[in-house]
Structure 1
Amino acid sequence: MFLLDASAIAIWKQSRKIERKRKALESSTKAIDTEECINIQQTQQ
C-alpha cells in the first residue's frame, strides 16, 4: 500500500512541476507576443 502511495505522490509532484513549467512557458510566450506587437506598432509609425 505504501508503494502505491509513494508512486502516486511522485506522479503528482511530477505533474505539478510540468504544470508550473507550462505556465512559465505560456507567460514568457505572451511576453514575446506583446514585445512583437510593440515592435510592429513602432515600425508602422
Structure 2
Amino acid sequence: MKYRHPDCQVVKRRGRIYVICKSNPKFKVRQGGAKIKKRRR
C-alpha cells in the first residue's frame, strides 16, 4: 500500500489495513478483506 496523496493516513481496523484520505476521498484503499469463512459446527 502506498500513499497517493500527502493527506493520506494508514489505519488498521479489525485486522484490515485501510488508507483514508480526508481531502480526496477517491484515494480510499483497503487490504486484507478476503478471508476464509469460519466453519460452523
TM range (shorter): under 0.3
The structure with more helix, counted as a fraction of residues: 1
Which protein, 1 or 2, shows the higher relative CO under an 8 Å CA cutoff with sep ≥ 6?
A: 2
The structure with more strand, counted as a fraction of residues: 2
Structure exhibiting the larger radius of gyration computed from Cα positions: 1
The two structures have a TM-score, normalised by structure 2, of 0.20
The two structures have a TM-score, normalised by structure 1, of 0.19
